[in-house]
Homo-oligomer: A and B are copies of this chain.
Amino acid sequence: MARSSNTAPPTVPPKGTLNDRRWQEVLDAAAATFDEKGYQAATLQDVASRVDLLAPSLYYYIKTKEDLLFGVMQRAHQLGLRLIEEAPELAGADAETRLVEFIRRWMGGTYPPEVRMVERDLRHLSPARQAEVMGWRDRMDHYLEDIVRQGVTDGTFDADLEPSVVASTLFVVLNSTPTWWRASGRRSYAELTEWYAKLFAGGLRSEQGPRRAV
C-alpha cells in the first residue's frame, strides 16, 4: 500500500532528463487524485496543489493532462509486471501453489492501489496508449492463463475452465479490494489474502460442481 515511489523505476521523464524525484512526486499526486476523484473530475489544480504548485507549473513536466494518466498507469503496470516474475524456487511448482503464491505477491503490499483506476479511466487515453496499456495487461493475463492451463493439463484444475475467464475474474477480485475493504473490518488484510487464495484454489479444483436447485 506504500504509495511512495522509492521502488519505482525512472519512467518517462517527459521533457528532457529533468528532476526525476520531482516527477515521481507529481505522479504520486496524480495517482492519489485520480484515484479519489476519477480522471475527468480531477483538476490539474487538484494535482498541483498536492505538490504545492500551481496548475500551469505542471506543464513543465507534462504536455497534456493525459500524460499524467499515462504516467500513472505506466508506473503501476511496471510494478505489476514485476510481480508476475516468479522466484526461482517456484520453478516446477504445481499450478495451485503458483496461483496462491501469485495472489500473495499481488496483495503483498508493494502494489499500489492505482490499478483499480485502470478499468475506470482507460478510455481517457489515446487509442495508441490504450493499446500499450492493454499489452501490459495481456502479459499479466497470460501469466495467469498459463498457470490455469498447467492445472488443467495435470488434472488438478477443472477441465472445463477457460483460462482467460479465470484470469479476468481473479484480477477483478484482487484489484477491486480497495473499493470496499475497510481496515475497520473484522478481518486483517493478510487474512483476506488467504481467503482469496482459498476461494480460488477451492473454486478451481476439479471434480466439484454445485448442486442443481429444484
Query: Which residues of A line the B interface, CB within 8 A?
Result: 1-6, 10-13, 36-38, 40-41, 43, 45-46, 49, 54, 89-90, 93, 96-97, 100-101, 119-120, 122-127, 130, 134, 158, 160-162, 164-165, 168-169, 172-173, 176, 179-181, 185-187, 192, 194-195, 197-205, 207-214
Contacts and interface: CB of A to CB of B under 8 A. Distances in A.
Central interface residue in A46, A96, A200, A212, by most chain B CB within 10 Å: A212
A2 to B, nearest CB: 6
A189 to B, nearest CB: 11
Given A54-B13, A214-B89, A199 B195 contact: no
A53 B182 CA distance: 43
Contacts of A199: 169, 199-200, 203-204
Given A194-B210, A208-B212, 17 more contacts: A1-B130, A4-B126, A4-B127, A90-B214, A101-B213, A162-B185, A162-B187, A165-B195, A169-B199, A198-B203, A198-B210, A201-B209, A201-B210, A202-B202, A202-B208, A202-B210, A208-B214
